[in-house]
Amino acid sequence: MTNFTKIGKKSAAYRHVLILMRHGKAEGMNEQGDQYRQLTDKGLKQSKKMGKAIADMGLVPDIIASSAATRARQTTERLLATFGDGPDVRYHMDLYDHGMQAIMDELAHTKDKHRVLMVVCHEPTVSYAAQWLASPESDPVLLGELALGSAPSSIAVLASDDPFAQWQTKSGLLVATVSPKELD
């Protein structure tokens, strides 16, 4: 079982924390197209559990930047059911179809006053971004987990004292990865 208190304490040592999250488990296809795929019942439950785990870590975000695709929006809505009205939420289609560049744009436009930024989007963007942003001091076991890809509703937590707008390659310490299987 994952020690959420330990993750929270380790993250608290840094001025800025980025949480990258893959949307919850989604239906295989939707007749309207990929961006309209919805979460399954399992995906809805996973998203709610992950929201509680993030809150237990003391990492309720100041800002959530979410893909505008249906499954990411539904994931974000489930998170908000746990987080309440605190986070400012932004939905962007770029997080659906512009990959790593969209995440870098979110970082660049996040003000220094914001401590915790959460990005909810898709694979392989989540695992690629986490690997790309993780500093060499990051635990190689955690980096190895990212190389396998991120399961639905999984998160990667990165931290740095640098403001988000200054993050580039290898900027944040990979503090933790958490998958829904660790929540059962």
User: pLDDT tens, 70-128?
Assistant: 999 999 999 999 998 889 999 999 999 999 999 999 999 999 999 999 999 999 999 99
CATH code for position 68 = 3.40.50.1240
User: What does each C-alpha distance from 32 to 29, 65, 72, 93, 121 come to in angstroms?
Assistant: 9, 24, 16, 16, 19
Can you give the pLDDT at residue 2? 72
User: pLDDT tens, 49-65?
Assistant: 999 999 999 999 999 99
Both tokens of 44, joined, read: 């809805």
Non-local CB neighbours of 52 within 8 Å, separated by 6+ positions: 82
| Domain span holding position 8 | 4-183
Instruction: Count structural domains, the chain.
Output: 1
